Amino acid sequence: MIPVIFFVVLITFVLMHLAPGSPWDKGGGRQLSQSVVRNLNIKYGLDKPVWQQFLLYVWNAAHFDFGLSYQYEGKTVASLILGGWPYTFTIGALAFCLVVPIGIGLGVLAALRQNTRIDYLTMTFATFGASFPNFVVGMLMIIVFGVVAYNVSGGNVSLPVTGFGLDDHLIMPVITLALLPTAYIARLTRASTLDTLRQEYVRTAWAKGLSERLVVLRHILRNSLIPVATALGPTFALLITGSVIVETVFAIPGIGRSFVTAVESRDYPMILGTTILFSVVIALANLVVDILYVFIDPRVRLD
């Protein structure tokens, strides 16, 4: 895990320093004077050689000090991240709670009733869910549930279109965020379950006289969900990338949106800090999944 994060930090840092121009060239505004620029450079440590800056950065980062944001005068990156964290986390966690049961449920259902209408319906849903980018889905939802509903019902029934709140403000963003990962998990679960159904031990289970419930739970699912568990890592990554877009579309003040504004305004400390955060979260998620895998699949245990 550590080499991954280190590598990410290194690459991102190097890229930041390859960027042309200095952060003080705010296009369109007044140009800062030389002495001011020099002072700012000293203040932000930009006058030292690059490798020194890198080591300094790593040291600080390990202490959760990601420096000061370029866009918001006087605010630290860390504080901005902390500020946005609750929003991103709420939406992400809710989406995750939708993705896992619905994704797995649909996948298993489609596999057990292969080639029936249920199978085609769920898989069509999954294909569409995976093919329409989340901002498109978000937009379409806004139009249908925000604009159209408003117009049709004379202003009475509609879902809030922007902003955050612990109420129906959450409905559209969470669903939009959950759509792609759900489709992905559904397809994976279906494929894995179909594969398991072809295995001989399923036939053995039936031959023993077990009921359908037992065969599905103890023999089919127990095996078909193993690959799905390993897919939870990439699912996390999808939720994170998704949150960047969803927060932008629905104007939610979370980390994702801060990242976007940082990119737009070239706020390098912010970009760097957020990127590190994302990669740490994903690396952690993958680590948890790896550990979990040992418990799920007895074949990989060292004994």
Residue ranges in 32-61 that form contacts with other proteins under rule CB under 8 A = none
Q: Is 8 in the site for other proteins (CB under 8 A)?
A: yes
Tell me which of 36, 56, 82, 143 binds other proteins, using CB under 8 A. 143
Binding residues among 149-168 for other proteins as defined by CB under 8 A: none
Stretch that binds other proteins, among 54-62, 102-110, 137-145, 164-172 (CB under 8 A): 137-145
Stretch that binds other proteins, among 45-53, 82-90, 166-174, 282-290 (CB under 8 A): 282-290
- Is residue 99 a contact partner of residue 175, using CB atoms and an 8 Å limit? no
Interior/surface letters 282-301, b for 16+ CB within 10 angstroms, e for the rest? bbebbeebeeebeeeeeeee
In the complex, the smallest distance separating the C-beta of residue 298 from other proteins, rounded to whole angstroms, is 5
Bridge partners for 149 per DSSP: none
220 torsion bin: left (phi>0), alpha (psi -120 to 50), beta (else) = alpha
Q: Is 16 in the site for other proteins (CB under 8 A)?
A: yes
Q: Is 7 in the site for other proteins (CB under 8 A)?
A: yes
Binding residues among 198-217 for other proteins as defined by CB under 8 A: 199-201, 203-211, 214
In the complex, the smallest distance separating the C-beta of residue 83 from other proteins, rounded to whole angstroms, is 19
Q: Is 85 in the site for other proteins (CB under 8 A)?
A: no
Binding residues among 244-263 for other proteins as defined by CB under 8 A: 244-245, 248-249, 259-260, 262-263
Q: Is 94 in the site for other proteins (CB under 8 A)?
A: no
- Is residue 72 a contact partner of residue 156, using CB atoms and an 8 Å limit? no
Q: Is 189 in the site for other proteins (CB under 8 A)?
A: no
- What is the number of residues in the chain? 303
Q: Is 121 in the site for other proteins (CB under 8 A)?
A: no
- Is residue 173 a contact partner of residue 252, using CB atoms and an 8 Å limit? yes
Q: What's the angle, vertex CA 142, arms to CA 87 and CA 122, rounded to 5?
A: 90
Tell me which of 51, 63, 299, 302 binds other proteins, using CB under 8 A. 299
How many CB atoms are located within 10 Å of the residue 108 CB? Answer: 22
- Is residue 126 a contact partner of residue 187, using CB atoms and an 8 Å limit? yes
- Is residue 67 a contact partner of residue 271, using CB atoms and an 8 Å limit? no
Tell me which of 77, 271, 273, 289 binds other proteins, using CB under 8 A. 271
If binding means CB under 8 A, how many residues of this protein chain bind other proteins? 71
In the complex, the smallest distance separating the C-beta of residue 81 from other proteins, rounded to whole angstroms, is 14
Show the DSSP H helices in 132-267 as ranges. 134-141, 149-152, 171-197, 200-207, 212-214, 222-230, 232-249, 255-264
Q: Is 29 in the site for other proteins (CB under 8 A)?
A: no
